[in-house]
Amino acid sequence: MDEYLNKGIKEIITEFPQIESVLNDYDIGCGPCTVGICLLKDIVAIHRLSANQEQELMARIDKAIHPDKDIKILTKEKRTESKATEFKYSPPIKKLVDEHVLIKRWIALIPEVIIDLDVESEQGRQLIRDGVDMIRSYADKFHHAKEEEILFKYFDENSDILKVMHEDHTQARGLVKVMLDALERRDQKTISENLMAYRELLTEHIRKEDEILYPWMDNQLSTRQVGELFAKFAEADQQMGFSPDKYEHFIDQLEIKFEKRRIEDGRI
Ligand SMILES: [Fe+2]
Ligand SMILES: [Fe+2]
């Protein structure tokens, strides 16, 4: 078993596909991860499992790798449904978790934006411009910049988990670029596909941050570093030069518009 601890999880899943569903039982979603460079030992370390759960998980992985070996698997502990609500974040990390809320409200609206989309009309094009502005200014400049330029600097940026986070941010920027190019050509299909890909990417990215990365980081930050981070985030927000209220207003308006449409269509 020890020989697998330093192996990449993707490589292990390729060799033993049943391990993906074992990990899923512990809310460890390595299967859909597009980067997949984390090592098995990191996966176990960064997911906050109890000692019993960790022992049980390792035994199940060991059994999947060595089906003929006699391995005792302890009874499975019941896991609670939502882990995010159990976390007690430090104030600066809580600020980032709270910023995710507006991004999640935006990505929840994307399927309805697509239904409504008509890039031949000025109104349709403006909706995409506004949505892209929300992604670029709020999600990227206001939020991801604080992660990349401040928070991540407190940790080893060459660690696998941070490489995965950076990679997600880079992929999101790539999708936005494709959307803007498609908007120039009024290519509705490409815009819709890339909006949905953005939604999928960010949903999983935010879940990883809220449930895995941030709690792991919080565990390692000293009280002095927590205070320092809080001050640096406040300073960064001040220097941003725009108020996030504008984006909250954009989301509020869209939610009202789509709710009205659902009522008119008799869907609620
Ligand atoms: Fe992020
Ligand atoms: Fe984030």
Query: What string of pLDDT tens digits covers the 268 residues of the chain?
Result: 677 888 888 888 889 999 888 888 887 777 666 555 577 876 776 666 777 888 888 888 888 888 888 777 665 555 444 444 578 899 999 999 999 999 999 999 999 999 979 999 999 999 999 999 999 999 999 999 899 999 999 999 888 889 999 999 999 999 999 999 999 999 999 999 999 999 999 999 999 999 989 999 999 999 999 999 999 999 999 888 778 899 999 999 999 999 998 888 887 7
- Spacing, Cα 80 to ligand 1 middle (Å): 25
Half-sphere exposure of 97 (CA within 13 A, CB side): 21
> Which three-class secondary structure state does DSSP give residue 8?
strand
- Spacing, Cα 215 to ligand 2 middle (Å): 13
Tell me which amino acid residue 109 is: L
- Spacing, Cα 263 to ligand 2 middle (Å): 33
The angle that helices 188-208 and 91-116 make with each other, rounded to 10 degrees, is 160
The pLDDT, as a whole number, for residue 36 is 59
The pLDDT, as a whole number, for residue 32 is 63
Alpha helix ranges (H) inside 66-159: 91-116, 122-133, 145-149
Residue 178, exposed/middle/buried by CB under 10 A (0-12, 13-18, 19+)?
middle
Half-sphere exposure of 246 (CA within 13 A, CB side): 13
Distance CA 25, CA 59 (A): 13
- Residue 8 to residues 2, 143, 232, Cα–Cα distance (Å): 13, 30, 35
Q: Which numbered ligand comes closest to the C-alpha of 162?
A: 1
- Spacing, Cα 189 to ligand 2 middle (Å): 28
> Which three-class secondary structure state does DSSP give residue 53?
helix
- Spacing, Cα 65 to ligand 1 middle (Å): 33
Distance CA 177, CA 249 (A): 24
- Residue 151 to residues 24, 62, 204, Cα–Cα distance (Å): 28, 35, 20
Stated pTM of the model? 0.75
Structure tokens at 194: 């890339």
- Spacing, Cα 134 to ligand 2 middle (Å): 14
- Residue 152 to residues 146, 157, 158, 218, 241, Cα–Cα distance (Å): 9, 7, 10, 12, 22
